[in-house]
Structure 1
Amino acid sequence: MEIQLPEVPLLRIFSLLDGLSLLRVCQVNKYWNKVANSDHLWRNLCLKRWSFPYQCLGMVTWKQFFLTQTKRERRMACARPEDFVYKEATGNLGILGPMAYLSGGGFPMSGQEKSLICTVSSKRMLFVWDVQEGTMIWSSPVQQSSIKYLVTLPQMYLAFTVDVQNTIKVWNCQHVDALATLTMPRACFSFEAILTSDGPFLMVGNSEGDIFTLTVPELRNVSKVNAFNYSVDLLRCSPDKKWIFAGGIHQHIVPRVLVTECLLRPSADRAPLSVSLPFPFCCGACWAPRRANRITLMFRRASFKKTGFATFDLTTEWTQDGTIIQANQIASFLLPINMESPICMGVGDGNVIVFESGPHLFLFTINGFLLQQFQDHQLTICNLWVDYLRVLTTSMDNYLHLYTWEEEGRYPHLKSCCHLEHRRDDHAPSCYYSKAICDNTSIVCVVSRNRESSVLVMYSLNM
């Protein structure tokens, strides 16, 4: 006689499985199939892999969402140069600066999703482009001052800009005028937009070491917290939106991690909960995408001649005297002094660090063990872009290179995927830095050949 586990303990066991294993147990028998198709199991898998808030999925189940989204990611990972449709935007664009995707927050399931990209121009304008069509679909009026920072909130199709006069604007990239405008009293040095269970917020770090938290889209001030006495050059929110990292490139700045809730719901009689990370000269910081309490810092030592990395796990402890935050340093190492100091960094699953040095791309463990080294560029890598799926590099040799994360073995490793030209039929080395970003269906690169204008190169997967 066949004995079956009750549904509750079977659900508990199935919750330990990954997506592929869960699909396999669906084939064992009808009972296991019913339990393994639980929306609760597939929802947890989705939130674990894509750890940010979702809008309504409509009639789509979490399992359908997981399978469709995974298929899209694998399609990009397997793409070859000939699989991309090439579009190029030229003309009177000025020098294109910061850029960010305006799409990507809703994950439409129709298969006809569009990639929309925001770019800032030296013409004092904000542009929005349809990547698949290679066309500009919206532009802001010419602003009074040059725009220096841009962030987006794709889940709400909103863009946020800061100009050199420290004026913040919220754009829905449909109407001519901004939804809201606020001029800050001090120079803005960092900028972060987040979507939490309490709603959307904008966080701004200024030259005095203050962090302002503003409502979206109204830009109403919720709180003002002083992190330290120098400019807040880095603001990084953890994937689960629980923590905010604040740092600065100054020898007297010790970076801090604050509890986000304390900034969203400030208390008049006590300071926000925070903890210091004892590594000044911090020039980079990345939260692990799937370990929301783990952060890795890149710092300088010995008059910037040495570069090191330190990794911390954040924990919260409740005591009789109140809540205490602890930062447990779990690893650190210094790079060899003969290695050219990296400018950019990224992290994989929380156990590996990726960074550039000259024309090389390196993958190290958080303890300093070299895992991989690539030289897919002939000239110095000038830009590195990293997310939980992909790594993009660009250099002055007129090429960008795409890598994807592979999770087989003890540590994740990088798979070299494809080499794409910045501009087709233009093989002259660039005199200026190029930069690139991507999503599941496209890659966008800004190439500047002179001091007056840029070219926007758009690659989209041939559907």
Structure 2
Amino acid sequence: MAVVLWFQVGNAEGDIYTLTVPELRCVSKVHAFKYKIDLLHCSPDMKWIFASGMHQNILPRVFFTERLLKPLEGESPQSLSIPFSSCCRACWAPRKTSRITVMYRRGSSRKTGFTTFDLITERTGDRTVIQAQQIATFLLPLHMESPIWMEAGDGNLIIFESGRYLFVFTISGHQLQRFDDHQRTIGSLWADSLHVLTTSMDDSLHVYMWEEEGRYPYLKSCCHLESIGSCLAPSCSVSKAICDNISIVCVVSKIQESRIQEPSILVMYSLHM
């Protein structure tokens, strides 16, 4: 039996398209918002789709993937609005696949907060009802520089940058770890269930690994790679990095000194831990 692959994309009109791979056949189209869709994340078990825009009037929505893949004629796909506007990031917990943490900014001071929900489904007759149970929320102290990036840990932890520092917090707001491995502001953050990577405008990359010990997993600093771009081209920086158990792949981008678009370079490292 053939396995049908699919993915979702959002557009500036607030529509979500579900397309097959590789044919790009449209399975369904849903009008989710009146504004542009900036965030679209599928849960690790592919059961849920989180969608949101960064417009202050948008409430994020979670869709039941089954109804996007097999839409019923005349019925809107099942979804649930999450009551937190001004969403700027969101991520699913890799080990608790129905748990999502949302990062948002509120008020004139633009305070940054994090709120975590568990999604639950209940059968009512022939219909599945989606519910979101808020399990934790907190605001960052005002003295902390507002983060741009965030990732989830085991389901009870979140990782985010603040300036040149990397932090590990519990979802209820307790700080567990702080790292200062970069000399300049962290420019990107990536994580999976095993690794965490950070890159900085100082043209460096740092690799961490999760260790299981005690009540919570903790991050162990593993290695630091400096001047990745300078050995390839002048005035370069690492703009993004991802990895698996075998290798690390970095995108090295030229620092823009003019409006001329410069090509990026892919750099790969063999990973031996």
| Superposition TM-score, scaled by structure 2 size | 0.91
Give the one of 252, 268, 273 matched to 1:458: 268
CA drift of 1:269 comes to 2.6
Aligned to 1:409: 214
For 1:378, give the aligned amino acid.
Answer: Q
CA distance, structure 2, for counterparts of residue 290 and residue 421 of structure 1 = 32
CA distance, structure 2, for counterparts of residue 336 and residue 427 of structure 1 = 40
CA distance, structure 1, for counterparts of residue 254 and residue 109 of structure 2 = 30
Aligned to 1:269: 74
| Higher share of residues assigned helix | 1
For 1:400, give the aligned amino acid.
Answer: L
CA distance, structure 2, for counterparts of residue 309 and residue 462 of structure 1 = 34
CA distance, structure 1, for counterparts of residue 234 and residue 169 of structure 2 = 30
CA distance, structure 2, for counterparts of residue 430 and residue 305 of structure 1 = 33
- Answer whether contact 2:190 2:196 (CA < 8 A) is retained: yes
For 1:233, give the aligned amino acid.
Answer: D
CA distance, structure 1, for counterparts of residue 112 and residue 60 of structure 2 = 16
2:118 pairs with 1:313: yes
CA distance, structure 2, for counterparts of residue 347 and residue 461 of structure 1 = 22
- Answer whether contact 1:214 1:222 (CA < 8 A) is retained: yes
CA distance, structure 2, for counterparts of residue 364 and residue 377 of structure 1 = 19
Structure 1 vs Structure 2: percent identity of aligned residues? 66
Whose radius of gyration is greater, 1 or 2? 1
Give the one of 81, 85, 106 matched to 1:301: 106
Aligned to 1:341: 146
1:140-289 equivalence runs, <5 A: 199-289=4-94
- Structure 2, unmatched stretches of 5+, are 257-261
CA distance, structure 1, for counterparts of residue 265 and residue 51 of structure 2 = 34
Aligned to 2:252: 447
Aligned to 2:199: 394
- Answer whether contact 1:381 1:394 (CA < 8 A) is retained: yes
CA distance, structure 2, for counterparts of residue 462 and residue 386 of structure 1 = 18
CA drift of 1:335 comes to 0.5
Distance 1:341-1:428 versus aligned 2 partners, 3 A rule: farther
Distance 1:297-1:414 versus aligned 2 partners, 3 A rule: same
Distance 1:204-1:424 versus aligned 2 partners, 3 A rule: closer
For 1:201, give the aligned amino acid.
Answer: W
CA drift of 1:219 comes to 1.4
Measured against aligned partners, the alpha-carbon deviations of 1:361-408 in whole angstroms (never above 9, x if no partner) come to: 000000000000000111111111111110001112221100011121
- Answer whether contact 2:229 2:238 (CA < 8 A) is retained: no
Distance 1:453-1:215 versus aligned 2 partners, 3 A rule: closer
CA drift of 1:208 comes to 1.4
| Superposition TM-score, scaled by structure 1 size | 0.55
CA drift of 1:454 comes to 3.6
CA distance, structure 2, for counterparts of residue 375 and residue 313 of structure 1 = 32
For 2:131, give the aligned amino acid.
Answer: Q
Structure number with higher relative contact order (C-alpha < 8 Å, ≥ 6 residues apart): 1
CA drift of 1:323 comes to 2.1
Secondary structure, aligned partner of 2:67: helix
Aligned to 1:96: none
Distance 1:430-1:332 versus aligned 2 partners, 3 A rule: farther
CA drift of 1:279 comes to 0.8
- Answer whether contact 2:203 2:238 (CA < 8 A) is retained: no
1:132-143 equivalence runs, <5 A: none
Distance 1:427-1:232 versus aligned 2 partners, 3 A rule: closer
- Structure 1, unmatched stretches of 5+, are 1-196
For 1:377, give the aligned amino acid.
Answer: H
Distance 1:429-1:313 versus aligned 2 partners, 3 A rule: farther
CA drift of 1:428 comes to 11
Distance 1:456-1:280 versus aligned 2 partners, 3 A rule: same
CA distance, structure 1, for counterparts of residue 270 and residue 218 of structure 2 = 25
Length, aligned pairs only: 267
For 2:89, give the aligned amino acid.
Answer: G
- Answer whether contact 1:344 1:384 (CA < 8 A) is retained: yes
- Answer whether contact 1:207 1:232 (CA < 8 A) is retained: yes
Distance 1:440-1:357 versus aligned 2 partners, 3 A rule: same
- Answer whether contact 1:255 1:276 (CA < 8 A) is retained: yes
CA drift of 1:304 comes to 6.4
CA drift of 1:456 comes to 3.0
CA drift of 1:453 comes to 4.1
CA distance, structure 2, for counterparts of residue 462 and residue 409 of structure 1 = 26
Distance 1:222-1:430 versus aligned 2 partners, 3 A rule: same
- Answer whether contact 1:396 1:430 (CA < 8 A) is retained: no
CA distance, structure 2, for counterparts of residue 375 and residue 330 of structure 1 = 30
CA distance, structure 1, for counterparts of residue 249 and residue 127 of structure 2 = 48
Secondary structure, aligned partner of 1:437: strand
CA distance, structure 2, for counterparts of residue 434 and residue 199 of structure 1 = 33
CA distance, structure 2, for counterparts of residue 419 and residue 296 of structure 1 = 28
